[in-house]
Amino acid sequence: MKDAVYAARLNAYAPHSNFLVGAAIECLDGRVFTGCNVENSSYGLTVCAERVAVFAAIAAGVMPRTFSRLMVCGAPRSATAAALTPPCGACRQVLWDLCGDIPVTLLGLDGASETLQLADLLPRAFDATLLPSADR
């Protein structure tokens, strides 16, 4: 799965930041879906690698909350080593809603890695349990 993350990173479209991110999400059935960041000149329309990977899985028919783990690697285009890069806040929220408390492994270009639970990256997460019931 690490190789898939590194390969996805090289597909990133990042002409503005030159910061390439690749991600791979694994389903409980073993399928792996990848994503890369896709930037836009209107920065708010940029989509992160983590969300691209999850959305690709959902688009392929994977049901939400049937994921086992996520791996992500982000680094500048010309880097050979860089700090481990966690998902941004928007990705953390999407991951929480669609994946639940899965392990998230941060990968470095130099082979470094760290695995954290999503609940540690997004403590006291907002989710549907806090919304009023549809029949109220």
pLDDT tens digit string along 70-127? Answer: 999 999 999 988 899 999 999 999 999 999 999 999 999 999 999 999 999 999 999 9
**Is residue 135 a part of any domain in this protein?**
no
**Is residue 136 a part of any domain in this protein?**
no
Q: What is the pTM of this model?
A: 0.93
**Is residue 50 a part of any domain in this protein?**
yes
**Is residue 87 a part of any domain in this protein?**
yes
- Please tell me the distance from the alpha carbon of residue 8 to that of residue 56, in angstroms, as a whole number: 13
**Is residue 45 a part of any domain in this protein?**
yes
Expressed as residue numbers, the domain containing 37 is: 2-130
**Is residue 11 a part of any domain in this protein?**
yes
- Please tell me the distance from the alpha carbon of residue 133 to that of residue 136, in angstroms, as a whole number: 6
- Do 37 and 52 meet the contact criterion of CB atoms below 8 Å apart? yes
- Domains in the chain: how many in total? 1
**Is residue 36 a part of any domain in this protein?**
yes
Please indicate whether residue 26 is annotated as part of the active site. no
Alpha helices in the chain (DSSP H): 2-10, 49-59, 89-99, 118-121
